[in-house]
Amino acid sequence: MPFKIGCHLSSAGGYLAMGQTAASIGANVFQFFTRNPRGGAAKPIDKQDVKAFLAYAAENGIGPILAHAPYTLNAAGAEDRVREFAEATMADDLKRLELTPGALYNFHPGSHVGQGAEKGIELISDMLVRILEGFGGVPSTTILLETMSGKGSEVGRDFGEVRAIIDHVETHIPDAPLGVCLDTCHVWDGGYDVVGDLDGVVAEFDRIVGLARLKAIHLNDSMNARSAHKDRHACIGKGKIGLDALARVINHPKLRDLPFYLETPCDLDGYRAEIALLKSLRNFE
């Protein structure tokens, strides 16, 4: 399979502009926010723009695209208004994403803000069940739970919490279109040794969650030492994970066919350079 590598892009110019920008920097996948990352209403979708993008993507081998929910979405919040915003936002995002079939939709599970992880898992799962039951069929978009670093009261700080959400949802909706996006910075900050024991981390993920559920990877270096439980991304090869370890991630036999999305603190030229660097480190045998 081709090496699927790309980065986060601005959605200001629309879908076709994102596709063209991705191609211009050597990417064949990309991520974007569904709306302002701090929340609010999404701008109307230009269906002609979507149609042009789909044709361009098919011609240039671009995809899958990864839509990222706003950071303010907190399905585990203690306040009703916070949870209601999360549910309304996700439901609207999934409806809009039906215009781009086969997309991925990534969200941070949320923070339980003192209610406890068990309660947070229950709230997140219940929201997903309500959204999927009210969708009117199975969405063409796969919803991804992102692995988190464990700062504050984040839910999803280990593979067990991610699996607990999936199990709860699948109890009600066996064919729920759920998956996982593994963030290399987050799992490192969360305590998983992707530098010294990548095989062990992959095996643990497979045992607890199942590799069949792993649909995407956020490829990020980290400014922090392992188990810092923070969330500060570094440019590729410039952090505590390092270039050698990230090269092993993109070449790992059980990971290499997944799409990789960069979320490093770069501008477009920086992303272009990182994509070229990673391509040079990819084993194509």
Beta strands in the chain (DSSP E): 5-8, 29-33, 66-68, 104-107, 142-146, 178-183, 214-219, 221-222, 233-234, 260-262
42 or 184, which is more confident?
A: 184
Angle in degrees, 0-180, between the axes of helices 117-133 and 80-97, rounded to the nearest 10: 40
The pLDDT tens digits of the residues spanning 183-240 come to 999 999 999 999 999 999 999 999 999 999 999 999 999 999 999 999 999 999 999 9
How much is the pLDDT for 39?
Answer: 66
Structure tokens at 15: 């879908």
Structure tokens at 43: 């701008």
The pLDDT tens digits of the residues spanning 60-101 come to 999 999 999 998 899 999 999 999 999 999 999 999 999 999
Q: How confident is the model at residue 285 (pLDDT cuts 50, 70, 90)?
A: low
Distance CA 155, CA 77 (A): 11
Q: What is the CATH number of domain 5-281?
A: 3.20.20.150
Distance CA 222, CA 239 (A): 5
Q: pTM (2 decimals)? A: 0.96
Handedness of CA 66, 27, 13, 16 (dihedral sign): negative
